[in-house]
Structure 1
């Protein structure tokens, strides 16, 4: 009898090797590309804003004029500024302009934006409202200087038709600043209205529909819905309008040149006079730095009072 030969048992084939554990994909780093796109903006900011600001701070500490080499005088320019009656008078004139301009511009812009939001959303209407803002300020000033002319102005002609006597608006100490303020109100109200209108478009329409079903009228919906939910945009508009109003220059330079009797000598025109009429570049730089500080404080207070970082829209 033959010895039995052991036959090895059949074994199953090994399973094919799998792909192995998946390694986590590295997050794409776009920071280099972002900095590449930001580089032209940062370069422009450094050349046209940062460098002039640093130079302005340096000049404010010197007796620099266009005719001599700057000499360091410390805080002498700022000490002179505190006791300068013309500086404080120009601030008062500017504040008067800001109150008239922002008050009239904001009220008119709110009304126009509400009408567009609730009545019509025509692109043609929006384009027509933006046209005055697109016209250069010098052109606007020249146009209104002719319209308000005491003898040949069309505005006085219209007033004469209703029995009102002619007035010399831009040459009157009483009427010159209101006239300048209303000229800029005409130029910028349309742009401000479009900003507010864009904010109103973010308010959900179902809020107005619910209020209408409850019997609320347009005025009540405007007070209870539109204004509270528009607060962040309104705060932005007021801050931008405040800064822009303090920078009023070209309209004054073209129409009144700071007159009559200093009635329209705003702070920007005063800086221009000190720098390029009297060649007090160091002192003009000190006034400009003081204006930067004033605007910074006013902007901070305005943002806090209006609670610009919060919205009632949730």
Structure 2
């Protein structure tokens, strides 16, 4: 007996899937509009202004690559770049190591939700508030930190007024604020690693140190690569902590690139030159991100 009619009836009985091909785009539309208005259009506008002389009082005048030529010959720009790189090295180096240690401790010793909240709490404080609090704590005359140093028999330190101390202090302030968030990102990555690999390593007699360097770090590499890319981009854009605590001083010792761009745009109304430096920073971050992505193989995993 033929089964063709039965098969045909089953096919006919299957409900047709609704054609909602437009629905995902409908939900993405608000985000796409926000991206175009607040990111894409300012980017295009900024690139155009970088080729002009514009000060809000007169129409933008096309000047070609004059702003970029000025940028390459500007000693303050290169000093700001050097200060920014020094800040990034301190901030990212200390923050990544501390965040990795905290994440490992949370993963190995406890997974308490309360402790995760405590670790994340500094990140919930705005940059401006955190900077103000540390400004008061580290004040040379009235700050409690210097009173403690004096009580210990040590000399007072101008944490935010001394050229040698200013950038390391600002870097440590931002390490304190962002360290918990970075630790939680790494902690989330640690939770995705399979326990079977660790069990096999311990069965073979591998020590915890050997397991960390031979298993944890290689398997965690894509997460660490992503964290480094995000934190380095954010560190190059440091502004509010510097603006609140030092204002770029003393003697341009903390005049990071974003601070210099802000001063040129809203202090001296040289929007064309400020836009050129912003485009330069964009190109530098793009190159750094590309190199990081390739060197760390962020798109690959060793779990396969």
**Which interval holds the TM-score relative to the shorter structure?**
over 0.9
* 1:25 shift after superposition: 7.1
Does residue 121 (structure 1) correspond to residue 111 (structure 2)? The answer is yes
- Which region of structure 1 is more displaced relative to structure 2, 228-237 or 203-212? 203-212
Does residue 41 (structure 1) correspond to residue 31 (structure 2)? The answer is yes
Q: Secondary structure at the match of 1:56?
A: helix
Distance 1:237 1:157 in 2: 37
Q: 2:211 aligns with which of 210, 216, 221?
A: 221
Q: 2:66 aligns with which of 48, 51, 76?
A: 76
Distance 1:92 1:28 in 2: 58
- Structure ranking higher in helix proportion: 2
Distance 2:201 2:98 in 1: 25
Structure 1: which 5+ residue stretches go unaligned?
A: 1-17
> Which residue in 1 is equivalent to 2:223?
233
Q: Secondary structure at the match of 2:100?
A: helix
* 1:209 shift after superposition: 2.2
Q: Secondary structure at the match of 1:230?
A: helix
* 1:219 shift after superposition: 2.2
Q: Secondary structure at the match of 1:31?
A: coil
- What TM-score do the two structures reach when normalised by structure 2? 0.94
Q: 2:202 aligns with which of 198, 212, 229?
A: 212
Structure 2: which 5+ residue stretches go unaligned?
A: none
The RMSD of aligned alpha carbons is 1.8
Distance 1:43 1:177 in 2: 38
Distance 2:23 2:154 in 1: 65
Distance 2:196 2:151 in 1: 48
Does residue 60 (structure 1) correspond to residue 89 (structure 2)? The answer is no
Q: 2:249 aligns with which of 242, 253, 259?
A: 259
Q: Looking at CA atoms only, which structure, 1 or 2, has the larger radius of gyration?
A: 1
> Which residue in 1 is equivalent to 2:122?
132
Q: 1:10-32 CA deviation, whole Å, 9 max, x = no partner?
A: xxxxxxxx578346976544320
Count of matched residue positions in the alignment of Structure 1 and Structure 2: 299
Distance 2:213 2:6 in 1: 65
* 1:210 shift after superposition: 2.3
Q: 1:144 aligns with which of 113, 134, 137?
A: 134
> Which residue in 2 is equivalent to 1:192?
182
Q: 1:162-200 CA deviation, whole Å, 9 max, x = no partner?
A: 332111110000000000000000000000000000000
Call closer, same or farther: CA 1:160–1:215 in 2, change over 3 Å.
farther
> Which residue in 2 is equivalent to 1:313?
303
* 1:75 shift after superposition: 1.1
